[in-house]
């Protein structure tokens, strides 16, 4: 059965598991470039409306962009397995734990920045598991409060960072000293037209077909290179270590090559598994 289109970002229970939807999008009134997916591989939909490439490019930079000199020396972090953020992409989050509600309120009262970083071993049961070295900071660009005490936010990616040191703090949420220097280029959108789209599309077609995912290929072609690649990285159901490798890739070209390889391997593994069942 084909995956259906969902425009909401509401968390839900699927097959007895809590599922946090992951989406990456750029929005203007009545037009959204978005890629939706669910972490447990139950559902995904890629949807890109018709919007000229130059119009998409204009959406990438806003008057609210942060200069490098304004990046903070201390950063609250939200450890979340399977959720990565990349510059200029958007990540909707459903905040309900007390410590992260506190983090969100404190962030809204200051620079609105939160660092997204994956824990290394979430299965350990440790309340403060070790973190991967690299994460990405996002700025809260939208939020709303719910009647049952949750806060729904959208983080827009600003820049990646390395965890230089975790701080001993009084807050219930974790805070770090981020190292920004290696990721200074994240603040500038890369040039378009340098990736091998034909190879990427070939890999995507096989990958989507093996998972019964829907998309509109003509609309995919209208996205800028960065919008397309980074949105797919955030939404495709790769495993956490694969997502981490994609996050840490040096530049868009390397990220594209790595993603194409991962798509090919995932499609081959899926096809092999299905053949073994027959």
Mean pLDDT of 119-148: 90
Residue 231 — very low, low, confident or very high, per pLDDT cuts 50/70/90? confident
Residue 18 — very low, low, confident or very high, per pLDDT cuts 50/70/90? very low
Three-state helix/strand/coil letters over the chain = CCCCCCCCCCCEEECCEEECEEEEEEEECCEEEEEEEECCCCCEEEECCCCCHHHHHHHCCCCCCCCHHHCCCCEEEEECCCCCCCCCCEEEEEECCHHHHHHHHHHHCCCCEEEEECECCHHHCCCCCCECCEEEEEEEEEEEECCCCCEEEEEEEEEEEEEEEECCCCCCCEEEEEECHHHHHHHCCCCCCCCCHHHHHHHHHHHHHHHCCCCCHHHHCCCCHHHHHHHHHHHCCCCHHHHHHHHHCCHHHHHHHHHHHHHHHHHHHHHHHHHHCC
- Between 246 and 220, the more confident residue is 246
Task: Report pLDDT for 277.
Answer: 56
Does the CA dihedral 12-15-17-23 come out positive or negative?
negative
Task: Report pLDDT for 48.
Answer: 37
* pLDDT exceeds cutoff 90 at 174: yes
Residue 261 — very low, low, confident or very high, per pLDDT cuts 50/70/90? very high
**Chain centre distance of CA 268:** 24
Mean pLDDT of 247-256: 93
Residue 216 — very low, low, confident or very high, per pLDDT cuts 50/70/90? confident
Task: Report pLDDT for 127.
Answer: 76
Task: Report pLDDT for 267.
Answer: 75
Tens digits of per-residue pLDDT, 58-81?
Answer: 445 566 778 899 999 999 999 999
Tell me what the pLDDT averaged over the chain comes to. Answer: 78
Q: β-pairing, 17-19 with 151-166?
A: unpaired
Mean pLDDT of 194-215: 86
């Amino acid at each position: 059965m084909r995956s259906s289109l969902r425009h909401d970002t509401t968390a839900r229970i699927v097959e007895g598991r809590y599922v946090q939807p992951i989406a990456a999008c750029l929005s203007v009134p009545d037009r959204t470039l978005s890629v939706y997916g669910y972490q447990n591989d139950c559902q995904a939909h890629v949807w890109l409306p018709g919007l000229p490439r130059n119009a998409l490019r204009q959406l990438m930079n806003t008057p609210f962009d942060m200069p490098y000199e304004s990046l903070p020396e201390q950063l609250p972090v939200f450890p979340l397995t399977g959720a990565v953020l990349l510059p200029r992409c958007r990540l909707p989050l459903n905040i309900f734990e007390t410590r992260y509600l506190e983090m969100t309120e404190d962030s809204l009262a200051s620079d609105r920045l939160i660092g997204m970083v994956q824990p290394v071993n979430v299965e350990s049961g440790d309340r403060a598991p070790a973190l991967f070295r690299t994460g990405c900071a996002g700025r809260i660009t939208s939020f709303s409060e719910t009647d049952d005490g949750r806060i729904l936010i959208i983080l827009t990616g600003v820049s990646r960072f390395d965890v230089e040191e975790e701080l001993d703090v009084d807050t219930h949420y974790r805070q770090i000293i981020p190292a920004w220097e290696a990721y200074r280029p994240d603040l500038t959108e890369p040039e378009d037209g340098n990736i091998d789209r034909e190879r990427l599309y070939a890999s995507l077609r096989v990958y989507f077909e093996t998972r019964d995912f829907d998309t509109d290929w003509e609309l995919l072609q209208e996205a800028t290179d960065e919008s397309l690649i980074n949105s797919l990285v955030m939404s495709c159901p790769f495993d956490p270590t694969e997502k981490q490798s994609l996050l840490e890739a040096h530049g868009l070209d390397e990220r594209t090559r790595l993603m194409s390889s991962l798509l090919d391997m995932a499609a081959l593994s899926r096809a092999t598994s299905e053949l073994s069942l027959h």
